[in-house]
């Protein structure tokens, strides 16, 4: 059986960058949550979640992103989501009002700049 989602995680000076491709739904949101949560250390400025290649994002995936943003904020860390206008998951995030709560950008470069700029000096 082929996995629904693939996650690539990179640690940069600006924070942790997680690229999610494939589908995020109730069947795999638990392991995705653990992987993303475990990737952000207390010393990291924050997390960039790139959903540019996420072909499907259901309500459990949207809730996961809200939950991560809230948890990171509670630790004094930032989160930004990369969701270009042409990405299938962008429409879902906009419909739910996610963009009014958590910063979203169209490019990875903009997101890492936002997280890096928010990092304490």
As a whole number of Å, the end-to-end CA separation of the chain is: 46
CATH number at residue 34: 3.30.750.24
Check residue 36 and give left, alpha or beta (phi > 0: left; psi -120 to 50: alpha).
alpha
Instruction: State the residue range of the domain holding 18.
Output: 5-116
Residue 1: predicted pLDDT: 34
Give the three-state DSSP class for 95.
Answer: helix
Q: How many domains does the chain have?
A: 1
Q: What is the pLDDT along the chain (121 residues), one digit of tens a residue?
A: 347 999 999 998 889 999 999 999 999 999 999 999 999 999 999 999 999 999 999 999 999 999 999 999 999 999 999 999 999 999 999 999 999 999 999 999 999 998 877 665 5
pTM of the model as a whole: 0.92
Any residues with CB less than 8 A from the CB of 40 and at least 6 apart, and which? 15, 16, 46, 47, 72, 77
pLDDT at 98: 96
**121 is a domain residue:** no
Q: Whose CA is closest to 97, among 47, 51, 59, 56?
A: 59
């Amino acid at each position: 059986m082929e996995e629904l989602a693939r996650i690539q995680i990179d640690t940069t000076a600006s924070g942790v960058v997680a690229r999610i491709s494939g589908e995020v739904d109730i069947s795999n949101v638990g392991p995705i949550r653990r992987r993303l949560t475990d990737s952000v250390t207390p010393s990291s400025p924050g997390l960039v979640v790139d959903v540019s290649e996420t072909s499907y994002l259901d309500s459990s995936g949207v809730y996961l992103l809200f939950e991560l943003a809230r948890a990171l904020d509670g630790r004094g860390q930032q989160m930004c989501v990369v969701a270009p206008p042409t990405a299938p998951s962008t429409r879902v995030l906009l419909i739910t009002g996610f963009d009014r709560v958590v910063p979203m950008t169209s490019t990875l470069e903009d997101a890492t700049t936002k997280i890096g700029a928010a990092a304490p000096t």
